[in-house]
A and B are shown apart, each in its own frame.
Chain A
Amino acid sequence: MSEHVDILDQLTASDYEYKYGFESQIEEEVVPPGLNEETIRLISEKKGEPEWMLQWRLQAFRYWQTMKEPHWANVRYTPIDYQAISYYAAPKRKAQPRSLDEVDPELRRTFEKLGIPLHEQEVLAGVAVDAVLDSVSVATTFREKLQSLGIIFCSMSEAIREYPDLVRKYLGSVVPPNDNFFAALNSAVFSDGSFCYLPPGVRCPIELSTYFRINARNTGQFERTLIIADEGAYVSYLEGCTAPMRDENQLHAAVVELVALAGAEIKYSTVQNWYPGDREGRGGIYNFVTKRGICLGESSKISWTQVETGSAITWKYPSVILKGDNSVGEFYSVAVTNHRQQADTGTKMTHIGRNTRSRIVSKGISAGYSQNSYRGLVRVNPGADGARNFSQCDSLLIGDKCGAHTFPYIEVHNPTAIVEHEATTSKIGEDILFYCNQRGIDTETAVALIINGYAREVLSKLPMEFAVEAQKLLAISLEGSVG
């Protein structure tokens, strides 16, 4: 842990090494907009993929053609023209700011509040300096250490080449290509992502994050992640970044699959801070993600923890299939919406094995004119004797122009199951803020105080240094929401 902190410090210190002028020599390659079999063949060829991978993609594409974009979520947006998107463009070089001076001042202000060093700010803002981690960087050192433990941690593209047996066995095993419209699209055209395999009995000594993965940048808008924890293995994986991510791709449709074999545990933490659009809701990312884990073996455990502050529209339900007996699924979520943001997020816990347990803690925070929906399904199958679920869904409203909605679905097909659901709604109104002001606490601090208290249970599930950043992020994303 402390070692991990050190590395993070080094990585985020302003003087960490960059190598300039490497990527800019690569010519930009953009295939014309549109999606057909040819596009997919082209993507697969560019990535040098084996035939089986191409066939897998093509199959997914055929599914996708028969599917319709889902519209059951409580979100509104102008229709996406899938034929207007370019599905292969690497690396992106268009319209990059040449220096931080050209970056949106509001974005810079946020960087400064988060205490992000200047160099890092340039990378995040996409300044055309081609800052690539040095090949002898800490990332490499880390990779060697992981290798000595037999842990595989690499890009998905690399995994397809180097570990085809593992990839073929598990890719699509949790989220099948025909699972839903966006998953099918992702399966057909996914750009890159992370692959992680932990051999039996191995506890990963550090929190894995894309920070430590070479070639982590430009994973594109269709990211694909696969994590497999073999029997008795443990891993904690951090996705994302507390800094705001700008991206000219409006649609993001990622797929994350987790597989936990007997006695294994996977903790997956996300702090998601995509560009939410401006105050009027212009621009901003549509984030339509399919995240699912399966507790395949008995006594395995999967925990999702997410802090969602970004995106114009979020559509995301990290779920767990509790197949193994005595397996455990958890979902801890803080979702903040402000201005015109819309979020429809929640989870699905499917109890199949006996004595399976799940726990859902969802904290929604809505401000401005935003809409924040929790949507959850707890399903207990007939064979899931002794299954238990506890769900806590809280909503916090800031001001009176925003909305919070809760859609908890419960399907119980086994009489021995115990399913509990609690829900609360609170509001930070003028009265509370004035009371705080009267005690010498300004409004910004008061909101932060209330939010942190409210989100504490979820934040405490995050790795420590991540939690601190997440806390700051919450305060920043709610700035200007009151008074």
Chain B
Amino acid sequence: MAEPILRIRNLHARVGETEILRGVNLDVYPGQVHAIMGPNGSGKSTLAAVLAGREDYEVTEGEVLFDGKNLLEMDPEERAREGLFLAFQYPVEIPGVSTATFLKTALNELRKHRGQEPLDAMEFMNLMRERAALVKIDPTFFSRSVNEGFSGGEKKRNEIFQLAMLEPRLAILDETDSGLDIDALKIVADGVNALRSPERAFLVITHYQRLLNYIVPDVVHVLYRGRIIKTGPKELALELEAKGYEWVTETDEVAL
């Protein structure tokens, strides 16, 4: 098998005195979709934030390799330029900065990092139109301030639109399905499926199995109290749905 895009070894992280991640291990290979499930408060968003480089979390132990490079040494913007993308659970609003300006700045930073010329206005517009169509984003959004006044569903679609624009190696989707009605969920899932490729990997964080009917994962993990306590094929998600999280967490309780 190829080298993993992401290799996490014994990752521990805390906020203040509270340890939230308590020894996470994970290997994600190119082309794969991994689902990370788990009850609320189990540390899913924390894992995403630590991978993206959020400062509030202190890594106390462990190692993360991203394409073989030490991820934990990089600034958040370096990680992004290396091809790590996080679709936020709660996307922020950026007043006064249009989606077009924002994405153009981001994309050109990435291109600079890869030694490519910046896109000219025409090429950029064409790319935006093409990618926006993937998640049915109306071009009138381009000139609106990033996420400002967007509905919950529009914000989530906008995250996937940005993913489509920036073409990362690894995309982490943090509860992208939460707050979406079934139509919006399908739009988002179609967008993600269109972006699946042999070079790219996805880490799909979700609380519910529902999304995984549409984005079918290769591997499903259950994160609980800061650890991956169970890993299985896509059917694991269905089993969790049927039996509830207690089914796995109870056995874990004993193990602890």
Chain A: residues with CB nearer than 8 A to chain B?
396, 426, 430-432, 434-442, 445, 449-450, 453-454, 456
Q: Does B149 sit at the interface, judged by CB under 8 A? A: no
List the 7 closest A-B pairs by CB distance, nearest first. A453-B96, A437-B76, A440-B80, A439-B106, A454-B96, A440-B109, A453-B97
Q: Mark B72-98, 1 if CB is under 8 A from A, else 0.
A: 000111011100011010011111111
Q: Does B102 sit at the interface, judged by CB under 8 A? A: yes
Are B145 and A453 in contact, with the CB atoms below 8 A? Answer: yes
CB neighbours (8 Å) of B96 from chain A are 426, 450, 453-454, 456
Quick one: which of A434, A438, A450 contacts B95, CB cutoff 8 A? A450
In the bound complex, what is the Cα–Cα distance between A440 and B109 (angstroms)? 6
A449 and B80 contact, Cβ closer than 8 Å, known pairs A426-B95, A440-B110? no
Quick one: which of A432, A442, A454 contacts B77, CB cutoff 8 A? A442
In the bound complex, what is the Cα–Cα distance between A432 and B92 (angstroms)? 6
Q: Does B5 sit at the interface, judged by CB under 8 A? A: no
* Nearest chain B CB to A398 CB, angstrom units: 12
* Nearest chain A CB to B218 CB, angstrom units: 25
CB neighbors of A among B85-144 (8 A) = 85-86, 88, 91-98, 101-103, 105-106, 109-110, 113
Residue of A432, A435, A438 with most chain B CB atoms under a 10 A cut-off = A438
CB neighbours (8 Å) of A435 from chain B are 88, 91-92, 94
A interface majority secondary structure = helix
Chain A, residue nearest B172 (CB): A438
Are B88 and A437 in contact, with the CB atoms below 8 A? Answer: no
In the bound complex, what is the Cα–Cα distance between A442 and B113 (angstroms)? 12
In the bound complex, what is the Cα–Cα distance between A441 and B106 (angstroms)? 6
Q: Does B69 sit at the interface, judged by CB under 8 A? A: no
Quick one: which of B54, B55, B166 contacts A439, CB cutoff 8 A? B166
Are A436 and B94 in contact, with the CB atoms below 8 A? Answer: yes
Chain B: residues with CB nearer than 8 A to chain A?
52-55, 75-77, 79-81, 85-86, 88, 91-98, 101-103, 105-106, 109-110, 113, 145, 162, 166
CB neighbours (8 Å) of B54 from chain A are 434
Q: A439-B102, A445-B109 are in contact. List 20 more A-B contacts (CB 8 A).
A: A396-B95, A426-B96, A431-B92, A432-B93, A434-B54, A435-B92, A435-B94, A437-B53, A437-B75, A437-B76, A438-B77, A439-B109, A440-B110, A440-B166, A441-B105, A441-B106, A449-B97, A450-B95, A450-B96, A450-B97
Chain B, residue nearest A451 (CB): B96
Chain A, residue nearest B83 (CB): A440
* Nearest chain A CB to B15 CB, angstrom units: 14
Are A439 and B162 in contact, with the CB atoms below 8 A? Answer: yes
* Nearest chain B CB to A146 CB, angstrom units: 39
Chain B, residue nearest A437 (CB): B76
In the bound complex, what is the Cα–Cα distance between A449 and B109 (angstroms)? 13
In the bound complex, what is the Cα–Cα distance between A438 and B102 (angstroms)? 12
CB neighbours (8 Å) of A436 from chain B are 94, 102, 106
CB neighbours (8 Å) of B109 from chain A are 439-442, 445
Are A437 and B80 in contact, with the CB atoms below 8 A? Answer: yes
In the bound complex, what is the Cα–Cα distance between A323 and B240 (angstroms)? 77
Sampled A-B contacts (24; CB under 8 Å): A426-B95, A434-B52, A435-B88, A435-B92, A436-B94, A437-B75, A437-B77, A438-B77, A438-B79, A438-B80, A438-B86, A438-B88, A439-B103, A439-B109, A440-B80, A440-B106, A440-B113, A441-B106, A445-B109, A449-B102, A453-B95, A453-B145, A454-B96, A456-B96
In the bound complex, what is the Cα–Cα distance between A445 and B77 (angstroms)? 11
In the bound complex, what is the Cα–Cα distance between A146 and B110 (angstroms)? 50
Chain A, residue nearest B107 (CB): A440
CB neighbours (8 Å) of A454 from chain B are 95-96
Residue of B54, B85, B97 with most chain A CB atoms under a 10 A cut-off = B97
Are A441 and B77 in contact, with the CB atoms below 8 A? Answer: yes
Chain A, residue nearest B165 (CB): A439
CB neighbours (8 Å) of A441 from chain B are 77, 102, 105-106, 109
In the bound complex, what is the Cα–Cα distance between A449 and B97 (angstroms)? 7
In the bound complex, what is the Cα–Cα distance between A442 and B162 (angstroms)? 17
In the bound complex, what is the Cα–Cα distance between A449 and B145 (angstroms)? 12
